[in-house]
Amino acid sequence: MNYNVLILASILLSGVPVAFTQQMQLAPMPSAVRERLSGLVPSPPPLRSTAQEQPAFYGSSNLYQYMDGAADTFQAYDIQALFHQDFKVGPVELTVDIFDMGTLENAFGMYAAERSPKYDFVAIGTEGYRDEGILNFFQDRYYVKLAGFGAGVDPAVRQFAQAISERIGGDKGFPAFLSKLPEARRKPRTEKYLAKDPLGHPFLSPAYQAVYELDAGESILMISVGASAEDAASRMRSLEDHFRHTGHWNPASEFGRGAARGSNSFEGSLVAAVSGHYLLILVNPPSNSATFFRDAAARLQ
């Protein structure tokens, strides 16, 4: 095998192609997108920092080049573009990644997919969290991730984040649909938007969910968003088919008209009912949860 073929093979076999060269986006990335994303980093950059290179841009089709398998989740949330650039601020080296997720919902969904309620949250963007040398936040259609190292990294990361947040602007709101989830007994910062495979079932997407403390344990309340009442009913039938095939499916009228309880050995128990063009699902419903479920369904009417 000659040298050229070896090079070819090494790249084909590599999820992250050769590290000795810099990746640049040649595939069509509209200049308007490049300019919009580049414009989110103030010029000159904060803290008199210096850019270490020209920004690199990635789209959905080549995001693997940047993050290998981690791209799967971003693609599930329909990533539009990624802006990537490294900066140096004194001893601090800083990487700025701005993910354009296309919509507020997808930006929130991607952010929430990586969020844990246990994180150290900061008031930057709509919501953000930090760790040593790391600060991630979402705002509008953007999910912004900053990471760095070196003495004084945390203040530098925070100032960069603030500057980018100001450039993004907007009203910093959460997706409006989250207001349909009941607030009472909701565990803070457990809300999610699931663009794909909610509860492991593609027919339930898209959906919103949050964790609730209804009893000693935790339950998940999910709203699967149908395109119509007929679509919601179809989702219910798919769920019924699944549980009839893998476990049990029985009426649960105490949870409302048409409600049913599904259970099997690997998913446990859930209650589901159609409400308007939504399918409402309560996973791990405690015995005293019927009123909670009916009230949640009423909010959807």
Q: Token digits for 80?
A: 């539009």
As measured in angstroms, the least distance from the Cβ of 179 to other proteins is 24
As measured in angstroms, the least distance from the Cβ of 31 to other proteins is 13
DSSP structure class, residue 186: B
Report helix, strand or coil for 137.
strand
Residue closer to other proteins (CB basis): 126 or 190:
190
As measured in angstroms, the least distance from the Cβ of 171 to other proteins is 27
Nearest-angstrom CA–CA distance, 200 and 184: 26
Q: Which residues of 50-68 are buried (b: 16+ CB within 10 A; e: fewer)?
A: eeeeebbbbbeebbbbbbe
Residue closer to other proteins (CB basis): 166 or 241:
241
Residue closer to other proteins (CB basis): 9 or 298:
9
Report helix, strand or coil for 266.
coil
Cα dihedral sign for 71, 114, 21, 36? positive
Residue closer to other proteins (CB basis): 114 or 215:
114
Bond preceding residue 17 cis, omega within 30 of 0: no
Nearest-angstrom CA–CA distance, 44 and 205: 42
As measured in angstroms, the least distance from the Cβ of 202 to other proteins is 6
In the complex, which residues of this chain contact other proteins (CB under 8 A)? Answer: 1, 4-6, 8-27, 52, 56, 58, 60-62, 64-70, 72-73, 84, 86, 93, 95, 97, 113-114, 116, 147, 149-150, 196-197, 199-202, 242, 246, 265-268
As measured in angstroms, the least distance from the Cβ of 106 to other proteins is 16
Residue closer to other proteins (CB basis): 171 or 245:
245
Single-letter amino acid, residue 114: E
